[in-house]
């Protein structure tokens, strides 16, 4: 459709709304899930506000238009577990975790931001302990609607979109039931996006079953590689890339984001693209390290890094809102002759126009998945011809990025406005560039000076007295089970409680291990002293606890971790030293004879130095032995030997140098 009109081979691209518009733009978003925002919460206030401004505040940075969050299920969902709002059928708590907080911070900055909730795992009772949440569709719908109700009634948040089950097959009966129960609960305005799964085959079910189709607002798929299907287009539904990116926030990651933001519409007619993660705010060393729009994983130093994907987002988000529309393919949207793409969007009153151009080369824009077929791209001169009503535009503000490895690298630089003469704009486009031409505003690039990076502070002590009740403990990152700060009423007043007493409906294999684990510190630690007080004098208590160092696996592989695990079974009068979290390999064991065991609080300490491991229980040494496995680095952690309640307090960590 490109027409060559001059001998100088300058391709001409019409930009015109005379014959109607393209699809409605649904927005660019970030996804907080899999404990991806874990470390953001306890940043110092100043830096935390700066970071949240970069993400959400209009005209500061990414100006995100959608915030998607996990509906926690006490289940491992990539870089940790997130807390459920209903731990059992009779339990309801809309204060747990950090997603409520995050949504409120986002709304404070941009009241128009759209909110989208999606579960990964579920507490085990959902589906009546069958591991299949669709066992009782009405129960599952009520669980999800309870979360939506908690958003509105307790947290003053209106949820705009709700999903089905992350990367698991949808259930048609459940989707219909959810729609009915939403409507009966006065949540008619909450739209269903289905099914956060791979591929577009859901389109066949939508076409076959009108009731199913009517229940669904839009089709959301993961990592679509910018393409859609004929069937999906035939449904007439909005099409979304409801999870995408998952790439490093470096040069190529920025290139990936620039390429897919444009091409998801140009190639795939997708009107929303959502990045996992919103922000990489989990410990270095956990899975998918650094896969966010920016990185903030040092609450103790306040250090953070505003990365390329933030400024790539800004190229679109600072100059559009979700009320805008794309133009049609061939009259404002399309491929460029020598590689790259452009999209144009107009405001609802058609008075404002934004054109985003990207010329990302293959090697500068590869994403984590799917594989990107080779293609050619070279420098080119282009001409945009603004026609009809848009021909009245007399100048464009200009923002420019160059994702190069040399000194020409720049992000979201303001350039002089370009005059539009007789509706014509000419540009010389280089390779790996992003351009925005817009009538809206010059845009804004915030500048801050984050404090320098520092190692995890040592010695470390937390008595959990300053953490808000029901929150997760600062820095302690649950990998199996769920850990929350509770008030016990008697001194020590606040403690950390492991609260999972049944296996969750798992999203990944970590939850197949009927134990709990929360990690802290650094994956580089080898020699450490750790001590903690614990109390198992609770109904539904776990049968034992452990304290561990050198934990070498986290996330969905947590159940396979090796390290040094000191296990105490107070009621069995027994201790063990295991080299694995599952407790299959015992290095040392013995009875707790001659050691006082208290009904409530006991103190356990583990020191590992080189090949030496020393264990102390209630101030009596249990053993000091030589390990046969070579000292490998890893996190420290605490956990329970079964799913059952356990209280922890006064966590102390000291590095041995
Ligand atoms: C996705 C998850 O939905 C996210 O929570 C996060 O874990 C993300 C990390 O990249 O990945 O899950 C996927 C896992 C595997 C594939 C795609 C998505 N895959 O192999 O194509």
The H or E element spanning position 385 is: strand 380-386
Ligand 1 mean position, distance from CA 578 (Å): 31
CA distance 518 to 495: 14
pLDDT level of residue 9 (50, 70, 90 thresholds): low
Q: Are 590 and 648 in contact (CB under 8 A)?
A: no
Model pLDDT for residues 486-522, shown as the tens digit of each residue: 999 888 799 999 999 999 999 999 999 999 999 999 9
Model pLDDT for residues 41-54, shown as the tens digit of each residue: 999 999 999 999 99
Closest by CA position to 566, among listed 582, 553, 548: 548
Strand 66-71 versus strand 114-119 pairing type: parallel
Ligand 1 site, residue 369, Cβ cutoff 6 A: yes
| Mean pLDDT score, 469-488 | 98
Residue at token pair 């890893």 = 634
| Mean pLDDT score, 24-46 | 99
Question: Which of the residues 70, 82, 243, 553 is marked catalytic?
Answer: 243
Residues near 442 by beta carbon (within 8 Å), at least 6 away in sequence: 397, 399, 414, 417
Residue identifier of the C-alpha nearest atom 14 of ligand 1: 167
Ligand 1 mean position, distance from CA 550 (Å): 26
From 166, 199, 223, give the residue whose CB has the most ligand 1 atoms within 8 Å, as the site to mutate.
223
Q: Which atom of ligand 1 is nearest to the CA of 166?
A: 3
Q: Which atom of ligand 1 is nearest to the CA of 167?
A: 3
Strand-pair partners of 270: 239
Q: Are 110 and 56 in contact (CB under 8 A)?
A: yes
Helices and strands (H, E) in the chain, number of each type: 9, 38
Residue 167 appears among annotated catalytic residues: yes
Model pLDDT for residues 95-142, shown as the tens digit of each residue: 999 999 999 999 999 999 999 999 999 999 999 999 999 999 999 999
Ligand 1 mean position, distance from CA 276 (Å): 9
| Mean pLDDT score, 309-323 | 99
Ligand 1 site, residue 34, Cβ cutoff 6 A: yes
pLDDT level of residue 398 (50, 70, 90 thresholds): very high
325: tokens are 């529309």
Residue identifier of the C-alpha nearest atom 21 of ligand 1: 369
CA distance 161 to 153: 17
From 75, 165, 246, give the residue whose CB has the most ligand 1 atoms within 8 Å, as the site to mutate.
246
pLDDT value at residue 7: 44
Cα–Cα distance list, 566 to 168, 240, 305, 640 (Å): 37, 48, 37, 11
Report ipTM (2 d.p.).
0.96
Ligand 1 mean position, distance from CA 34 (Å): 10
| Mean pLDDT score, 71-79 | 98
DSSP, res 45: H
Ligand 1 site, residue 288, Cβ cutoff 6 A: yes
Residue 612 appears among annotated catalytic residues: no
The reported pTM is: 0.98
Q: Phi-psi bin for 87: left (phi > 0), alpha (psi -120 to 50), beta?
A: alpha
pLDDT value at residue 4: 47
Ligand 1 site, residue 223, Cβ cutoff 6 A: yes
The H or E element spanning position 252 is: helix 251-266
Model pLDDT for residues 244-283, shown as the tens digit of each residue: 999 999 999 999 999 999 999 999 999 999 999 999 999 9
Q: Encode 93-105: b = buried (16+ Cβ within 10 Å), e = exposed.
A: ebbbbbbbbbbeb
């Amino acid at each position: 459709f490109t027409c060559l009109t001059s001998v100088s081979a300058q391709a001409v691209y019409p930009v015109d709304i005379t014959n109607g518009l393209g699809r409605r733009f649904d927005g660019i978003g970030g996804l907080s899930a899999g404990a991806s925002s874990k470390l953001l919460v306890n940043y110092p206030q100043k830096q935390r506000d700066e970071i949240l401004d970069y993400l959400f505040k209009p005209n500061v940075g990414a100006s995100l238009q959608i915030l998607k969050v996990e509906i926690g299920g006490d289940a491992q969902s990539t870089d940790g577990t997130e807390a459920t709002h209903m731990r059992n059928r009779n339990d309801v708590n809309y204060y747990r975790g950090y997603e409520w907080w995050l949504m409120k911070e986002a709304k404070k900055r941009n009241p128009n931001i759209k909110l989208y909730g999606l579960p990964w795992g579920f507490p085990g009772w959902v589906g009546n302990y069958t591991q299949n949440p669709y066992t009782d569709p009405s129960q599952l719908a009520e669980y999800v609607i309870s979360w939506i109700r908690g958003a509105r009634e307790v947290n003053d948040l209106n949820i705009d979109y709700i999903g089905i089950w992350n990367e698991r097959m949808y259930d048609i009966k459940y989707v219909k039931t959810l729609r009915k129960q939403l409507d009966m609960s006065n949540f008619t305005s909450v739209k269903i996006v289905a099914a956060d799964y791979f591929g577009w085959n859901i389109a066949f079910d939508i076409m076959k079953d009108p009731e199913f189709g009517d229940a669904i607002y839009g089709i959301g798929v993961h990592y679509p590689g910018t393409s859609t299907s004929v069937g999906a287009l035939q449904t007439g539904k909005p099409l979304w890339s409801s999870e995408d990116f998952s790439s490093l926030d470096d040069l190529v990651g920025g290139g990936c984001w620039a390429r897919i933001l444009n091409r998801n519409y140009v190639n795939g007619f997708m009107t929303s693209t959502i990045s996992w993660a919103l922000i990489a705010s989990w410990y270095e060393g956990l899975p998918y390290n650094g896969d966010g729009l920016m990185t903030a994983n040092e609450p103790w130093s306040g250090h953070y890094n505003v990365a390329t994907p933030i400024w790539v987002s800004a190229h679109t988000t600072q100059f559009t809102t979700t009320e805008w529309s794309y133009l049609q393919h061939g009259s404002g949207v399309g491929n460029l002759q020598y590689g790259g793409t452009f999209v144009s969007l107009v405001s609802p009153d058609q008075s404002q126009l934004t054109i985003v151009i990207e010329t990302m080369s293959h090697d500068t824009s590869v994403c984590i998945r799917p594989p990107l077929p080779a293609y050619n791209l070279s420098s080119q001169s282009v001409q945009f011809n603004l026609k009809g009503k848009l021909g009245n535009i007399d100048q464009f503000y200009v923002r420019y990025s160059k994702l190069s490895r040399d000194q020409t690298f720049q992000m979201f630089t303001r350039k002089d406005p370009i005059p539009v003469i007789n509706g014509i704009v000419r540009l010389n486009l280089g390779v790996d560039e992003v351009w925005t031409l817009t009538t809206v505003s010059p845009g804004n690039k915030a500048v801050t000076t984050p404090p320098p990076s520092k190692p995890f502070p040592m010695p470390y002590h937390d008595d959990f007295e300053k953490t808000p009740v029901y929150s997760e403990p600062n820095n302690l990152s649950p990998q199996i089970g769920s850990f929350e700060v509770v008030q016990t009423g008697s001194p020590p007043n606040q403690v950390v409680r492991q609260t999972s007493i049944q296996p969750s409906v798992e999203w990944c294999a970590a939850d197949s291990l009927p134990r709990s684990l929360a990690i802290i510190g650094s994956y580089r630690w080898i020699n450490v002293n750790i001590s903690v007080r614990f109390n198992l004098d609770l109904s539904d208590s776990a049968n034992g606890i452990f304290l561990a160092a050198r934990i070498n696996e986290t996330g969905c592989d947590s159940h396979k971790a090796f390290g040094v695990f000191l296990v105490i079974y107070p009621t069995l009068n027994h201790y063990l030293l295991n080299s694995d979290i599952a407790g299959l390999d015992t290095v040392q064991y013995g009875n707790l004879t001659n050691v006082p065991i208290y009904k409530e609080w006991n103190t356990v300490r583990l020191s590992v130095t080189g090949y030496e491991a020393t264990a102390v229980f209630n101030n009596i040494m249990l053993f000091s032995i030589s390990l046969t496995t070579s000292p490998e680095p890893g996190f420290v952690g605490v956990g329970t030997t079964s799913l059952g309640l356990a209280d922890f307090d006064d966590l102390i960590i000291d590095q041995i140098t």
